[in-house]
Amino acid sequence: MEEERLEVCRGSSEAAQQLGEAACHRQPGPQHTATRSAAMAPGILGKVWDPDVTQQTTALQEEGKDPVDRTGQFQKIVAGLLELVDQFTKEAENEKMKADRCSNQNLLKSTAKQKEAQQLQLQALIAEKKMQLERYQDEYEALCKVEAEQNEFIDHFIFQK
């Protein structure tokens, strides 16, 4: 096939000039050799090359567009996924902040409840100590009466002798 192309290029100097030197000397590779030339001179291909080759070249051109389109679609999908990941990250951070706030609020409530419980305990202790003080005062007054009676008895006993 390469030989046919070279012969056609050599045989038709007008076609060779229009296709350019690069089309005659190119090695076939992953990209078909006529892809660029077909874009430059679409009418020439029908005259110089076999219609089957022209059709194959056009088909290869169309096939070459497909991977490019797929790559573009893939890049769009990846960009969409990255956006989703960013959104999920932001949502996770927001939820974490909410959880931290709830935790802090619960801690404050817990601390307030602990202080309230401690205050109630202290009030109960104060009430107990006040009752104990009243008992001691009553006992003291009773003992003072007993002492006064005993002193009076002693004084009365000493004066009778």
Token duo for residue 119: 């205050």
pTM of the model: 0.39
Give the tens place of pLDDT for each residue, 16-65.
344 444 344 444 444 444 444 444 445 554 456 788 888 888 888 888 78
The CA distance from 25 to 29, in Å, is 12
User: CA-to-CA distance for 112 and 116, rounded, in angstroms?
Assistant: 6
Task: Residue 5: name the closest of 18, 55, 70, 27 by CA.
Answer: 27
Instruction: Convert 90-143 into a string of H (helix), E (strand) and C (coil).
Output: HHHHHHHHHHHHHHHHHHHHHHHHHHHHHHHHHHHHHHHHHHHHHHHHHHHHHH
Average pLDDT over residues 96-108: 92
Does residue 123 surpass a pLDDT of 90? Answer: yes
Q: What is the pLDDT of residue 82?
A: 96
Please answer whether residues 50 and 1 qualify as being in contact, where contact means their C-beta atoms are separated by less than 8 angstroms: no
Say how far apart CA 111 and CA 155 lie, in whole Å. Answer: 64
